[in-house]
């Protein structure tokens, strides 16, 4: 697709500084710009690249004032990052299939699939499953019996959704994710072996949730594991049975949440963070990468870091001391030597 700077600016209600007749046909990072490409500048860290970029045009905030000469054309908008995201949403439709069910897919006779939905090759849709309007069900997806899927849902190749789970409107589930597998529930026996506890619940994923590749979300022992509206899970996140993740919480890769833990809304969780089971995390909590949380967090909007996690400012102070430990050890040894000599 090709579009002029003038047309694009009109679409974004922007202001052009430079050649409004220049043509754009692709997008690129500002540091990897090329002729015909559109880039954006939102983070001041990348400002040096705008003076050397080869991109034909760059989206910038209206407040941006260059410090030296610029050869690229600027399109000034209220929020460059949001504008660029909007453009990607409008034009990034690669890989979408047209409505209809591939002849190699298996749809049980009492399942319901809306006529506007695409179902890819070798997909299985179980008994009494229901799939709403304008969904994209890519090849090799498994949808178990009684699963309910809302409108405009995208399931990428290899997604597995076990029986009786529910997926809300506008959700995206990436390749290899498993939703509704058994929770890790085993009762210890006198002989030190374990008896499996039946996992009779389900998983409820509310609207506007995105689940990354190879995530695993376990079904509840009883009741439901719940991922609330607008939550975003990166790749390789583990959510155990009966967990509840609050609205618009974001969780980075390789984090794990043990059973029955309740995560509040608007939380920000870094990579490889671990939560113990049966705890409650307050709304707006933020956790640095590799933090370990073993107890309740009751303070809203707090920042935490470390394992075990402590308040961020304390963690940073403790880190300074930790780095000085070799030097402190050496000084202690020297003092001990002096004391021995005095004695």
231, containing H or E segment: none
Torsional class of 266: left (φ above 0), alpha (ψ -120 to 50), beta (otherwise): left
Q: Report the C-alpha gap between 314 and 304 in whole angstroms.
A: 9
Q: Is 138 a catalytic residue?
A: no
Q: Report the C-alpha gap between 36 and 144 in whole angstroms.
A: 46
Q: Give me the sheet containing 216-218, strands edge to edge.
A: 106-107, 124-125, 142-143, 160-161, 178-181, 216-218, 238-239, 256-257, 274-275, 292-293
Task: Catalytic residue, from 49, 114, 241, 278: name it.
Answer: 241
Q: Report the C-alpha gap between 189 and 41 in whole angstroms.
A: 60
Distances (CA, A) of 194 to 174, 186, 227, 271: 33, 6, 29, 32
So which residues are the catalytic ones?
241
């Amino acid at each position: 697709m090709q579009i002029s700077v003038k047309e694009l600016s009109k679409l974004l209600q922007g202001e052009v500084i430079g050649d409004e007749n220049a043509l754009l046909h692709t997008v690129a990072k500002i540091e990897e710009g090329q002729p015909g490409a559109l880039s954006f500048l939102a983070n001041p860290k990348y400002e040096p690249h705008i003076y050397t970029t080869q991109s034909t045009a760059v989206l910038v905030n209206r407040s941006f004032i260059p410090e030296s000469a610029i050869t690229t054309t600027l399109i000034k908008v209220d929020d460059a990052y949001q504008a660029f995201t909007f453009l990607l949403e409008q034009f990034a439709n690669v890989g979408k299939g047209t409505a209809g069910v591939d002849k190699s897919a298996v749809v049980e006779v009492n399942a319901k699939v809306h006529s506007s939905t695409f179902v890819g090759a070798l997909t299985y849709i179980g008994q009494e499953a229901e799939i709403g309007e304008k969904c994209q069900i890519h090849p090799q997806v498994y949808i178990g019996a009684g699963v309910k899927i809302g409108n405009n849902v995208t399931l990428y190749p290899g997604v597995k959704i076990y029986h009786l789970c529910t997926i809300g409107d506008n959700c995206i589930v990436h390749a290899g994710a498993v939703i509704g597998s058994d929770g890790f529930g085993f009762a210890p026996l006198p002989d030190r072996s374990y008896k499996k506890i039946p996992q009779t619940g389900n998983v409820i994923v509310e609207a506007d949730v995105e689940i990354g590749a190879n995530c695993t979300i376990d079904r509840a022992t009883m009741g439901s594991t719940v991922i609330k509206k607008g939550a975003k899970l990166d790749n390789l996140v583990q959510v155990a049975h009966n967990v509840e993740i609050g609205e618009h919480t974001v969780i980075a890769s390789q984090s794990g949440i043990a059973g029955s833990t309740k995560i509040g809304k608007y939380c920000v969780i870094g990579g490889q963070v671990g939560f113990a089971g049966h705890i409650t995390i307050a709304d707006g909590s933020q956790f640095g990468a590799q933090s370990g949380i073993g107890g309740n967090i009751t303070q809203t909007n707090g920042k935490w870091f470390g394992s075990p996690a402590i308040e961020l400012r304390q963690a940073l102070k403790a880190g300074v001391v930790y780095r000085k430990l070799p030097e402190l050890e050496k000084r202690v040894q020297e003092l001990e030597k002096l004391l021995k000599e005095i004695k």
